[in-house]
Chain A
Amino acid sequence: MKMLGLDTQHQAALLKVVILGLISAVAIASRLFSIIRFESVIHEFDPWFNYRTTRRLVETSFYEFWNWFDERSWYPLGRVVGGTVYPGLMVTSATIYNVLHALNFPVDIRNICVLLAPLFSSFTAIAAYLLTSEIKDSSAGLLAAAFIGVAPGYISRSVAGSYDNEGIAIFLLMFTFYLWIKALKVGSAYWGALAALFYFYMVAAWGGYVFIINLIPLHAFTLILMGRFSSRLYVAYSSFYVLGTLMSMQIPFVGFQPTRTSEHMAALGIFGLLQIIAFVELVRSHLPSNQFQILLKGFIFISFIVMFSALVFLTVSGYIAPWTGRFYSLWDTGYAKKYIPIIASVSEHQPTAWPSFFFDLEMLIFLFPAGIYICFKELRDEHVFVILYGITASYFAGVMVRLMLTLTPIVCVAAAITVSRLLDLYLDMHGLESHETSTKEPHETSTKKPVADGKTKVAEKSNSSKKGNSSRPAPTKKKGDQQLFGIKGFDTRLAVIMNFFFFLTIFVWHCTWVTSNAYSSPSIVLASRQADGSQYIIDDFREAYYWLRKNTDDSAVVMSWWDYGYQIAGMADRTVLVDNNTWNNTHIATVGKAMASSEEVAYEIMRRHDVTHVLVIFGGLLGYSGDDINKFLWMIRIAEGVYPDDVKEISFFTPRGEYRVDEEATPTMRNSIMYKMSYYNYNELFGGQGQDRVRGARLPSDKIRLDTLEEAYTTENWIVRIYKVKDLDNIGRSLKQAASFALGKKRHTRSKKRS
């Protein structure tokens, strides 16, 4: 059939390009809900740091950025940003920015940052297409691209404004894997080097690169165990590993980790193993087999002993760092809670609840095992990879909510394989013809060339798939299967196809719904509805941050719980004590201790850290549940971990083991500055007893007195409350005495007046 005067092959190519282009467009479009609903703004917490550093990079030079010592965070310690950051994201944005500006497109850096994740999602769709095309065929590739374009599991981290490492990392992950598969298939150092190059980019972009550097060796190892060692594997892995490792060491934050930490040892080990095997193969080809057996056994024994003892020695002597806490928590989900509460306190580090698999992946999660099964049936090298990726990623996704992100791509790939296989079977219109044509089929396939000369328009996708397959000799067997089990009945086809059409429609509908409802809120802005149905924006965070930015001294030091550190640095442009880069547990615990202590103790800590302002989040008036009183237990736990003598979690619980803020709240609780700052003046707002709408409690009716702090600013809905730390008293009294004295004087004058 001629269309636009092109032959079928070109038609298929054109269609693929058009479809892929549309998928990319959809991938971008479905991530723009937040911009349309709200505005082009950076979301959440970490993106604010990335945005701030990107601005810095754009405003200064790359070397300035590289050597940047940020004295505005972790006061008074500061932070060496260049050495503690994955710069890939910032460099990417800055490059785009500079290119656009060189072409006279003065696009604001904020807009580039906001739209970077959607842009890379469209690239991810293309990468998924390429990868799946390598594994099955291009029709499966297109399905995979479509799936990953809209899958909520990935959208959750890549909506417009979610300017985080993951936004570009998933693309790099997929593309590195594609290049790896390609390198493995072709056995060329060129593709291996390309894979290494993108691995380097990935290392520069996200800490999750460890997944790649463990999965690829695992793949190589499995292939070896399966007896599939080949020169292709040798060339691909060696070129990838050597170049990739050397390049990854150029990132200051990674440095010598690839040679010194346990996470990277597997890759090194496999590299050594490959060399040994290659050497053995070489020897084998030159020796008679019985001599070779002896030699092999001896060699394996000795080299194992040598390598293992070397590893033990290096680990014990400290050359190789043992696994870090975050990795232990991957094996033992209770580990973090016990030993590193700070990791456990992050909600995205919690184990995944099972409904979220369905929520994030919908029907893909059912199709995923089927895809894995299909891979098992074929089990070429790349299928082994899919299986390994699927299994490991499933495990990690079960352990940590956040790692749902790494699972999503492979689920999309596997599901695409399933659906494509199904459609191959049920949409294959050859069966609709008479039996003669179908018997001719194997013959046509074997002649390879004109298979794609499709008989119907509908079968375009499967046509292209055949074209994809025709380049390799292996799938002819599969074609035979298809013929054997071909579905002939029109009604059966219709039933299945209609069902799947329905499923796919529902899938897209679900994805759009989830994206629009769950993942498109910037979280620095809250939206609610007014009585007349119009949208009402609760913008308390920015109100407070902007107030700090404009009306406090430039050298003000703000103490808050670490969650808000990046936002304060980014939006308020003020120095913070702790922020979301939780590298120093002691410092965070100190802040936790200050929050959990009485005024005297806290004042001491605050003075020692030059704190001028304290910021707390209070949701009691509005019913905003993510406030500091609800996070307070984590502060206490983290503080207790470092200062077990000063802070005791138990003293914040009532004798019946309840965590309360009302009349029954423990004295320790009521004396903590967190409690005082949250509820200061709150009773008076109600003219008596305040009602906490988050915890559904009536507050104690006694007035809260603050001696060392004074309210500096409270936002419209009381969500953010900023306090100013009072200066030392002029005549050397304690602030409590001074306040009492002032209070007494007032009372005195009042009583005088009365008399």
Chain B
Amino acid sequence: MRSLQYLYLLLVSVVLKTFFIPCIFATSSAVSSAPFYVPQYWKNTNFLRVIDLTTYAVRETTSIVAKNVHSEPIGEYYFPIKEEFDDHLSYIEVTEKKTDKIFQVKKAEFDSLKWVTDLFSTGHVNIFTMQYSSEKNQVYCGKSSKFKNSLLPLNADSTNVNQNQNCSRIQFYKITFDRRIDPNEKIVLVVKAIFTHTLTPYPREIAQTGRQNLLYQGNLYGNSAYPTEQQKTNIKLPTANLISYTEKPGPVSRSGNTVTYGFYYDIKPDAFEKLIVHYEFQEALLTVKGLRRDLEISHWSDNLAIEEHYNLTHDGAKLKGQFSRLQYHQTVYVHQDTTMARDFTFHLPPRASGVYYRDEIGNVSTSRLRSERDKTVLEFKPRYPLFGGWNYTWYYGYNVPLDNFLGHKSGKYILNIPFINPLKNAVYDKVQVRIILPEGASNVKVETPFPVDRETHTVLKTYFDSKGRYLVVLDKYNVVSEYSVPFQISYEYDSLELLRKPLVASTFFFWGFLLSIIYSRMEFTIGKK
């Protein structure tokens, strides 16, 4: 079978070489679009990149000075991200340096049938074409000269393309400016991209008080779909303890907790060179696998009840062997300096009251609450200290006066509240925000400053409800603390609705009494007393 397959592929390659590739793609239905070639209208005259590795989420800030080399004014710029990184992209924001204006960024239709290899670390940029077999419903990629040997089948609909390290697709982000840039004019862009789960602990297991080292793997060159004249990359590390880092190609310099790559000159588009930084990171890598945040508005008690359900995992280097309480007691003075997570802090709004902290089997008594002028601080400990690979779930909740977050304007109520209340240095795999509006709310509109993955409007029936409350559910995957920005939800609410509950309750009792009156006047005995 296998040899047959190769034979077939060989045939295909011959066909491909002879015929138009686009032709094949036109006939195929499995691959959604033709290869996407970025029009080469720009040239980066300067390209500065800062990779911030001081937290679990990797923050990459790129400043690009781009020059229009086309003959017409251009209003768009494409920013590429390798697919395996795109899966981890949590946040992307583009501003213009001078004006601090935020530009619109959109995922361009996914698919560049280009691939970049890191197998050949000669500094060359290898651009190959992926090829698609319509019968096999598979995409193949390989180097054209050695096409036969390095032919690697990939599933076109599989998202897991990057299992082959040397085969990776590129996602383009289309940046739309607020104006068109004239030929030979320049524009300075700042692209801020945040990636989660791109750091891996190495070694994978450490002792209870061991040092944790992380591996960062990325592209030595900046992500660019255009040729770049000069380029530099700064890597910011949490400490000066650096185990190893990619030292070629130069110039590479290191001072304190920064490693600098570059300047490099005349880089081709989609250039790739593997960059590895192995450094020490003595902090817990906290991943919130799931967060459910319930916001319940009550006009009756003028109260906003907030409850957050956390499912947390320590994704750092796993605990080698087992946990020893004795060692834990003996090393109490160095706990601050280990990757163990022992306590967490949340900043709640001022005037928060009725705070509770529980988990699946009841109340957890190890928490403290303290009121400050502009916030309430909740400090709490999980039931057990969290080591690498350990999990913990909990929920906590509190009440705040509604007027802190709710505005009233021309018959409309507007709730303005942060999307999440971030846990320090944690990344969120999934966030679900549920807004429970009072019974009778109508004309509900949600405004979020960023796209959410799902928005659902349903009904929730709870205490003393007759027709149920209006429930809005917002789901978003892959969230970092940058999303802790307010979103707005507006609704109309008739104040007569306030009377609904007492009316329903009194009707209920009225019927109860009425029935009992009727019943007590009935006679059910057979025969006479």
Contacts and interface: CB of A to CB of B under 8 A. Distances in A.
B517 interface: no
Interface string A457-498: 000000000000000000000000000000000000000000
A546 B359 contact: yes
A106 B296 CA distance: 15
Contact of A547 (B329, B365, B383): B383
B180 interface: no
B464 interface: yes
B344 interface: no
A713 interface: yes
B355 interface: no
Nearest to B311: A550
A40 B329 CA distance: 32
A550 B385 CA distance: 12
A60 interface: no
Interface in B351-394: 359-366, 383-384, 389-393
Interface in B496-527: none
A546 B465 CA distance: 35
A63 interface: no
B362 A39 contact: yes
A546 B361 contact: yes
B438 to A, nearest CB: 15
A710 B321 contact: yes
Contacts of A681: 324-326
Nearest to B329: A685
Given A104-B461, A550-B390, A550-B393, A545 B361 contact: yes
A472 B477 CA distance: 76
A713 B329 contact: no
Secondary structure of the B contact surface, majority rule: loop
B326 A104 contact: no
Contacts of B389: 551
Nearest to B322: A712
A39 B358 CA distance: 10
Interface stretch (A168-176, A292-300, A535-543): A535-543
Interface in A331-378: none
Contacts of A39: 362-363
Contacts of A685: 326, 329
A711 B465 CA distance: 52
Nearest to A687: B330
Nearest to B323: A713
A724 interface: yes
Contacts of A571: 361
A521 interface: no
Given A710-B322, A711-B323, A539 B384 contact: no
A714 B325 CA distance: 6
B365 A539 contact: yes
B168 to A, nearest CB: 34
Contacts of B383: 539, 542-543, 546-547
A713 B321 contact: no
Given A104-B464, A546-B384, A550-B393, A715 B365 contact: no
A718 interface: yes
Contacts of A41: 361-363
Residue among A104, A685, A712, A713 facing the most chain B CB atoms (10 A cut-off): A104
Given A39-B363, A543-B384, A550-B390, A684 B462 contact: no
Interface in A3-48: 38-41
Interface in B390-415: 390-393
A545 B362 CA distance: 12
Contacts of B461: 104, 106
A106 B464 CA distance: 10
Contacts of B366: 539
B19 interface: no
B327 to A, nearest CB: 9
A551 B363 contact: no
A543 B382 CA distance: 9
A711 B365 contact: no
Contacts of A38: 363
A319 B158 CA distance: 67
Contacts of B391: 550-551
A292 B465 CA distance: 73
A105 interface: yes
B463 A105 contact: yes
A715 B329 CA distance: 11
A157 interface: no
Contacts of B464: 104
A549 interface: yes
Interface in A544-573: 545-547, 549-551, 571
Interface string A709-725: 01111111010000010
A539 B359 CA distance: 13
A546 B393 CA distance: 9
Interface string A97-135: 000000011100000000000000000000000000000
B362 A542 contact: yes
B292 to A, nearest CB: 15
Contacts of B363: 38-39, 41
Nearest to B390: A551
Contact of B364 (A539, A545, A684, A716): A539
B393 A711 contact: no
Contact of A711 (B322, B329, B462, B468): B322
A718 B468 CA distance: 49
Nearest to B460: A106
Nearest to B508: A103
B361 A106 contact: no
B384 A711 contact: no
Given A713-B323, A724-B322, A550 B361 contact: no
A710 B326 CA distance: 13
A38 B324 CA distance: 30
A549 B325 contact: no
Nearest to A573: B360
Nearest to B313: A550
Contacts of A710: 321-322
Contacts of A539: 364-366, 383
B341 to A, nearest CB: 13
A625 to B, nearest CB: 21
A628 B520 CA distance: 61
Contact of B465 (A104, A712, A713): A104
Given A542-B383, A550-B393, A681-B324, A104 B361 contact: no
A147 B329 CA distance: 51
B381 to A, nearest CB: 10
Nearest to B393: A550
Given A41-B362, A550-B393, A104 B463 contact: yes
A367 B278 CA distance: 82
B460 to A, nearest CB: 9
Contacts of A542: 361-362, 383
A106 B462 CA distance: 6
Contacts of B323: 711-714
Contacts of A547: 383-384
A718 B323 CA distance: 13
Contacts of A545: 361
Given A543-B383, A713-B323, A537 B365 contact: yes
Contacts of B326: 681, 684-685, 714
29 contacts: A41-B361, A104-B461, A104-B462, A104-B463, A106-B461, A537-B365, A539-B364, A539-B365, A542-B362, A543-B383, A546-B359, A546-B360, A546-B383, A546-B384, A547-B384, A550-B391, A681-B324, A681-B326, A684-B326, A685-B326, A711-B324, A711-B325, A712-B323, A713-B323, A713-B325, A714-B323, A714-B325, A715-B384, A724-B322
Interface of A: 38-41, 104-106, 537, 539, 542-543, 545-547, 549-551, 571, 681, 684-685, 710-716, 718, 724
Given A542-B362, A550-B393, 6 more contacts: A104-B461, A106-B462, A545-B361, A546-B392, A550-B390, A715-B325
Across the A-B interface, give the 4 residue pairs with the lowest CB-CB distance, nearest first: A714-B325, A537-B365, A39-B363, A681-B326
